[in-house]
A and B are shown apart, each in its own frame.
Chain A
Amino acid sequence: MNGFVLLTASLIRRLLREPLVLRSLTFPVLITSGVLIGFLAIWSVVMAPMIVAVPKGFDSARLSADLAPFELRVGEFSDPAAAVQWRFARVGTDGTTVWSRGIVREAGVVEKVLRDEKGSRWRLDANVAMPMAGGTLAQEQGRLLARMLSSIFALYGVVFGAGMIARDRDDGSLGVEFTLPRSRFLPGFARFMASFIVLGAFLVPSLWVLNSLVGVPDIGMMCRVGVAAAAASAGIGLTTMAQSGAKGGFAGPLGFALVAAFSALLSGRLVPALAPALPIGSLWANGPSSIGLDGWTPLAMSVLVGLFGAWRVSRMEVG
């Protein structure tokens, strides 16, 4: 047991010392949050001001008062529709028609206010978090981003698992470990656990960054499912590399492992009944079914995949 802990710790230390690994693991969250923040920054600059264009002479006193809580100001233009088109105003209205450039939330606000003022047959509830099955639209998008980020980590898991075996096989250190007077199972399992811990240590904060930026529903479950996917992928990487043997190269087994991990990703969609238990398939399980996930089962299953990979490594000939 002591040997296993020491070996795992030294493998973790080795991974954390390699800038290549650090760059790889920080890359997804940098890209995701960077693109999101960059987009928001550009959007806030290029977007039209929070002005509602109305025709000259339009009686806007009540409209102004109603729109004030939404931080919208009323401005007079000779042609409100053109003002919206040329980005002088975010929304335009003449009291019966609302103009907007694309679907913008403020158009809903103006429509809601106008319908309330005029006493229309039906009213619009705008700018309200919608209590829908699976959460609001923003939460749904947060979940989508979290799944994408976790999928990237799942692909990294494959490279981690395969790479840790391939490198140590090629430089001879795996062969040396096999000659030591301890179980042949330990080198493989220690590599799996090191990948598990390092991938998890980078994925969980990355998901929390997304949570802070867009809000990810049930972040704890998402973290467990994401870590399970990354860890199981590392197990797949270990298995395929061990399967390829001493002279199997790297790109070929890696390709097989990537295809296997990708197929496992799809399995959640193809077999929804099993999805909550699958370590990689649970990541993209269909919306409502994913709400029932606890995340612990896939996590436990990922350890089983790792154990299988370690067993395959223990039977590996390293030349």
Chain B
Amino acid sequence: MRLSRVIAVARRDLAVETKGRRGIAVPILFGALLLPIAAIPVGEERLASVEPPVLVYGDVPPEVSGIPGALIGRRWDAVALGRDADGVLHARGEFLPPKLRDALDGDDPAAVKTEIAYERVVLPRRSFLLALLTASILVGAVAESLPGERSRKTLETLLTAGITRLELIGGKVLAWGGLGAVATLLSASVAVALGRMPLGLWVLPLPLVPVCTVAVGFWFVRRAGDVVGASTVTIRIVPAVLGGLGLLAWAVGNGSPWVAAAIPLGGALLASGDTWPGIVPPLVATLSTGLTTAALVGLIARDLESDPIGREVISGPKLAAALFVAMAGLAHASSLLGPVLWGVAGNLGLANGLLPGPGVQASSMLMLLIVAVAAARESDSFGALGLRRPKPTDVLAVLAGVVGVVAASFASFPAHGVILSDLGRRLGEAVFPSDLGLIVLAVVAQELLFRGAIQRLAGPVAAGVASGLVLCPVDPLRGLVLSAVLGGVVHFSGSSANAVIARVLGCAIVTFALS
């Protein structure tokens, strides 16, 4: 790799992208965002040692109001104090600060003490924010640089010039990563000069964070066909990668800083915040992130001439059906079964407070969205959902469907285990909702998706099995029977509207009968 060529590419990239007013805007943006972070005296050391404030409201006794610094007033994180009919004081709050407990206990011999063992948690310092923010600012430039060359058709010209692919990508990474590195180092020097940060080895990984982030960004858009498509990728993926690797490094670093520092990008991000003591973590982070950046540059150069990805569409009816089923399954399970996990994780109160109704609504709305996507894929949107003009014979199909739905709901199938009772209750609410509004919303969404879009794409058997498993995973026989009845109605009558009407009527009858 010839350095002069790399620098030439970098200069060209910067000149193209920062011409005119944008040339002034970039340093203003960096300065406006980074300098306050570098200069404002927040005092991380003070923050770390500050005792939790005493926030109370209600019937506050004098021994509490007399606590130095106590704040009295209603707010969500304040402790509520009040007396019961016997005059005994009650405290209600997520966390009662030690000062408050001591004041309330006084010399009470029947007091109960608490000892909370905290995990030792390390937090990065302000230079971490400088690295994070700089890396985030460069997302737009990354989206414009390489995909912009593709859409302007100038990439071919560059590829035929007397430079290697490696020099081309190296130059582009140098342009934007270098800009970020300079901005980060300058703002860090301000922080050091003002005494906000001590000078240390954290400055080694600091400039590598924007450089590696730029390389990661280029990797994700290496085959993007245009700037807009690339922007949606970088704005979505790059912060998630940066944040995810940072969180991973932080979590691992609470146990082993050396291992955490070796996590590419995440290790450098945390090490740049002077998070871990010693000289090894910043050195390891610099090495691992530097090597990752070099490897990414090589991989991007290798893939540079691959076919660009344009405005692709989901192709193939089976693939589309599989994707729709997967999305619907995910939506249904997370909305309805997610709350149960709160109970398993120890918060039974919240799990019991989260009723299945909103879950059914969320799942139904997401299914309607999938239905809209399925309809938008084809020129005949109604046909894509298996809808057609009504015929007189549809009445018979609907009647047969209603009988089938009512029979399926009252039929006795092998019971699912007691452990699944809460899951079954929540899932059952989605299949046989107890509220008329929910019936209409859930049934329209589920039937248009499974009996309309998916049955048309993948056939009645696949659609029936999919709907049975997605909607009734803990009561599969009932789900399969219901799917067979409604799938049959659509198959023989030719319209998914009949399944919608039959199930709405069937569910309404079941609800009426059970009430």
Q: Is B240 an interface residue (CB 8 A)?
A: yes
Question: Is the pair A103, B94 in contact by a Cβ cutoff of 8 Å?
Answer: yes
Question: Is the pair B17, A252 in contact by a Cβ cutoff of 8 Å?
Answer: yes
Q: Is A21 an interface residue (CB 8 A)?
A: yes
| Given A121-B106, A163-B232, A251-B141, CB of A81 within 8 Å of CB of B341 | no
CB within 8 A of B376: which of A13, A50, A156? Answer: A13
CB within 8 A of B349: which of A33, A129, A135? Answer: A129
Q: How far, in angstroms, from A36 to B313 measured CA to CA in the complex?
A: 30
Question: Is the pair B229, A43 in contact by a Cβ cutoff of 8 Å?
Answer: no
Which of these binds chain A: B38-46, B71-79, B260-268, B462-470?
B71-79
CB within 8 A of A170: which of B151, B344, B358, B373? Answer: B151
Chain B residues with CB under 8 Å of A30's CB are 330
Q: How far is the CB of B406 from the nearest CB of chain A, in Å?
A: 28
Chain A residues with CB under 8 Å of B339's CB are 212-213
Q: Is B274 an interface residue (CB 8 A)?
A: no
Chain B residues with CB under 8 Å of A118's CB are 110, 112
Chain B residues with CB under 8 Å of A120's CB are 105, 108, 110-112
Question: Is the pair A97, B112 in contact by a Cβ cutoff of 8 Å?
Answer: yes
Type the 1/0 row for A20-35, where 1 means its CB is closer than 8 Å to any CB of B: 1111101100110110
Question: Is the pair B25, A255 in contact by a Cβ cutoff of 8 Å?
Answer: yes
Question: Is the pair B358, A249 in contact by a Cβ cutoff of 8 Å?
Answer: no
Q: How far, in angstroms, from A231 to B14 measured CA to CA in the complex?
A: 32
Q: How far is the CB of B332 from the nearest CB of chain A, in Å?
A: 11
Question: Is the pair A84, B117 in contact by a Cβ cutoff of 8 Å?
Answer: yes
Chain B interface SS verdict (over half): helix
Q: How far is the CB of A314 from the nearest CB of chain B, in Å?
A: 21
Chain B residues with CB under 8 Å of A133's CB are 74-76
Q: Is A47 an interface residue (CB 8 A)?
A: yes
CB within 8 A of A132: which of B78, B336, B359? Answer: B78
Which of these binds chain A: B299-307, B362-370, B407-415, B496-504?
B362-370
Question: Is the pair B25, A105 in contact by a Cβ cutoff of 8 Å?
Answer: no
Question: Is the pair B118, A71 in contact by a Cβ cutoff of 8 Å?
Answer: no
Which residues 361-417 of B have a CB within 8 angstroms of A?
361-363, 365-366, 368-369, 372-373, 376-377
Q: How far is the CB of B225 from the nearest CB of chain A, in Å?
A: 10
| Given A84-B117, A167-B226, CB of A132 within 8 Å of CB of B346 | no
Total interface residues on B, CB under 8 Å, equals 85
CB within 8 A of A251: which of B140, B233, B353, B366? Answer: B140
Chain A residues with CB under 8 Å of B90's CB are 122-125
Question: Is the pair B116, A127 in contact by a Cβ cutoff of 8 Å?
Answer: no
B231 closest partner in A (C-beta): A159
Q: How far, in angstroms, from A208 to B366 measured CA to CA in the complex?
A: 9
Which residues 224-244 of B have a CB within 8 angstroms of A?
226-229, 231-233, 235-236, 240
Question: Is the pair B92, A130 in contact by a Cβ cutoff of 8 Å?
Answer: yes
Q: How far, in angstroms, from A287 to B74 measured CA to CA in the complex?
A: 12
Chain A residues with CB under 8 Å of B96's CB are 124
Chain B residues with CB under 8 Å of A31's CB are 240
Total interface residues on A, CB under 8 Å, equals 97
CB within 8 A of A250: which of B74, B114, B231, B372? Answer: B231
CB within 8 A of B227: which of A24, A50, A250? Answer: A250
Q: How far, in angstroms, from A30 to B335 measured CA to CA in the complex?
A: 11
Q: How far is the CB of A28 from the nearest CB of chain B, in Å?
A: 8
| Given A133-B75, A167-B228, CB of A81 within 8 Å of CB of B141 | no
Question: Is the pair B112, A96 in contact by a Cβ cutoff of 8 Å?
Answer: yes
Chain A residues with CB under 8 Å of B376's CB are 12-13, 16-17
Question: Is the pair A163, B354 in contact by a Cβ cutoff of 8 Å?
Answer: no
Q: How far, in angstroms, from A130 to B57 measured CA to CA in the complex?
A: 13
Question: Is the pair B89, A215 in contact by a Cβ cutoff of 8 Å?
Answer: no
Question: Is the pair A205, B362 in contact by a Cβ cutoff of 8 Å?
Answer: yes
Q: Is B347 an interface residue (CB 8 A)?
A: yes
Q: How far, in angstroms, from A241 to B348 measured CA to CA in the complex?
A: 50
Q: Is B212 an interface residue (CB 8 A)?
A: no
Q: Is A66 an interface residue (CB 8 A)?
A: no
Q: Is B48 an interface residue (CB 8 A)?
A: no
Chain A residues with CB under 8 Å of B112's CB are 96-98, 111, 114-115, 118, 120
Q: How far is the CB of B36 from the nearest CB of chain A, in Å?
A: 13
Q: Is A211 an interface residue (CB 8 A)?
A: yes
Sample 6 A-B pairs with CB under 8 A, ordered by A number. Answer: A24-B232, A100-B115, A106-B346, A121-B104, A252-B25, A287-B76
Q: Sort A-B residue pairs by CB-CB distance and give the 8 closest, nearest first.
A: A251-B144, A16-B376, A208-B362, A205-B365, A163-B228, A212-B359, A40-B341, A125-B92
Which residues does B use to contact A, with CB under 8 Å? 17, 22, 25, 29, 74-78, 80, 88-96, 104-106, 108, 110-119, 140-141, 143-144, 148, 151, 226-229, 231-233, 235-236, 240, 311-314, 327, 330-331, 334-336, 338-339, 341-342, 344-350, 353-354, 358-359, 361-363, 365-366, 368-369, 372-373, 376-377
